Amino acid sequence: MNYKDQIQKNRIPRHVAIIMDGNGRWARRQGLARMFGHRQGVKTVHTITEVAAELGIEYLTLYAFSTENWNRPKEEVDALMSLLVDTIAKETPTLMKNNVRLSTIGDITRLPENAQHKFQTCIAETSQNTGLHLVIALSYSARWEIIQATQEIVSAVQRGEILLEDVNEEMLSSYMTTSQMPDPDLLIRTSGELRISNFLLWQLAYSELYFTECLWPEFTEEEFYHAIVDYQHRERRFGKTSEQIR
């Protein structure tokens, strides 16, 4: 039986986060420039977004560009920014067709102006859609996010708007860029690397982790279904015992 048929429709993860890794290696293995891998990676983004919408996943968060990625060679950074801009412009009709709402997390102000503008336009255009919420992490790092949240809380305490003893998990979550969404149920990382790489460190506390050797450009629908089926076989205890869960 294929993985699609094994999916239990009543146990679909609400929020799936993905570290899309391996574009460069995929290209290099074929003697191609790294950008070919990123372009192929966009095709995977298209496929996985459609599948996620079809499965009824509520939130799909994709790590597209980390704070650390700004340190890549300038030509690659520039080419990635152009690819993102072109993709967003080109994919907006598909997002509309699939009732997908787009948003971003990260320090968008570091992006070139045309990229900021394209994203804002697509976010506004898709804002009334009620299906899958597609969240693109751009110029994002979890440590940056935690520092931002800490600074805001400290200054609210200094202004006397909140009391130090009121700072708790719920409050910290409300200061994160993900405040409007549930924590990821499932984190997928492609390309065989076994790291979190500064992604959603606060939010992943109880997420199920799924690592695959598959490189992002070759991550297919069936690979995605495999990850979901694997997730559905996990027992999520959140620190409790098996008996308590059952």
Q: Please give the positions annotated as active site.
A: 21, 69
DSSP codes joined into one string, 20-75: ---HHHHHHHTT--HHHHHHHHHHHHHHHHHHHHHHT-SEEEEEEEEGGGGGS-HH
Q: Does 20 bind ligand FPP (CB under 6 A)?
A: yes
For the CA atoms of the chain, what is the radius of gyration?
19
Q: Give 26 or 175: the residue with its C-beta nearer to ligand FPP.
A: 26
The piece of 62-70, 92-100, 144-152, 159-167 that touches ligand FPP (CB under 6 A) is 62-70
Q: Does 64 bind ligand FPP (CB under 6 A)?
A: yes
The piece of 7-15, 34-42, 156-164, 170-178 that touches ligand FPP (CB under 6 A) is 34-42
Helical H segments across 127-195, by residue range: 142-158, 169-174
Question: To the nearest whole angstrom, how small is the minimum distance from the Cβ of residue 190 to ligand FPP?
Answer: 9
Number of other residues whose CB lies within 10 A of the CB of residue 112: 14
Q: Does 49 bind ligand FPP (CB under 6 A)?
A: no
Q: Does 25 bind ligand FPP (CB under 6 A)?
A: yes
Nearest position to ligand FPP, beta carbon? 24
Number of residues in contact with ligand FPP, rule: CB under 6 A? Answer: 18
Q: Report the distance separating Cα 132 and Cα 126, nearest Å.
A: 11
Q: Give 87 or 212: the residue with its C-beta nearer to ligand FPP.
A: 87
Give me 51's structure tokens: 């599948």
Q: Report the distance separating Cα 142 and Cα 162, nearest Å.
A: 24
The piece of 19-27, 151-159, 225-233, 235-243 that touches ligand FPP (CB under 6 A) is 19-27
DSSP label of 180: T
Q: In the block, which residue shows the tokens 């709402």?
A: 101
The site for ligand FPP (CB under 6 A) is made up of 20-25, 38, 41-42, 45, 62, 64, 69, 83-84, 87, 136, 191
